[in-house]
Amino acid sequence: MGSRTVTNMSNMPLEKLVLLPKSAVTIGEHLRQKGKKTPKDISKETGLAPRTVSLGLKKLMGPGYVGKVPNIQWDMRQPLYYLNAERWSEYLRRYGHIIN
């Protein structure tokens, strides 16, 4: 079996990051405007399919644009996702002209 290297992508330089899909950008902007949300809420409020939201959140979590915390107040099975505002601002400075 070959060895596998795991990289912490939240510390990855922006030069190595790639342009996110439109659905992931929609989710990022929704979290920026609305604050912490569950995937179910994101799906309902944006009109994106639940699977699209799930994949978009994975793409946003990899480079550290989004984090998640347990939803202690309502339902531990549905974590709350939040935007890393500083990291998201870096992304928008770099790619904002392309995604708008």
Structural domains in the chain plus CATH codes:
20-99 (1.10.10.10)
Contact 53, 27 (CB under 8 A): yes
Q: What are phi and psi of 95, to 5 degrees?
A: -120, 0
Residue 18: both structure tokens together: 């790639």
Token duo for residue 52? 């699209």
Q: What is the pLDDT of residues 60-93, one digit of tens each?
A: 999 999 999 998 888 888 899 999 999 999 998 8
Provide the whole-model pTM.
0.77
pLDDT in tens, 19-76: 899 999 999 999 999 999 999 999 999 999 999 999 999 999 999 999 999 988 888 8
**Helix, strand, or coil (residue 27):** helix
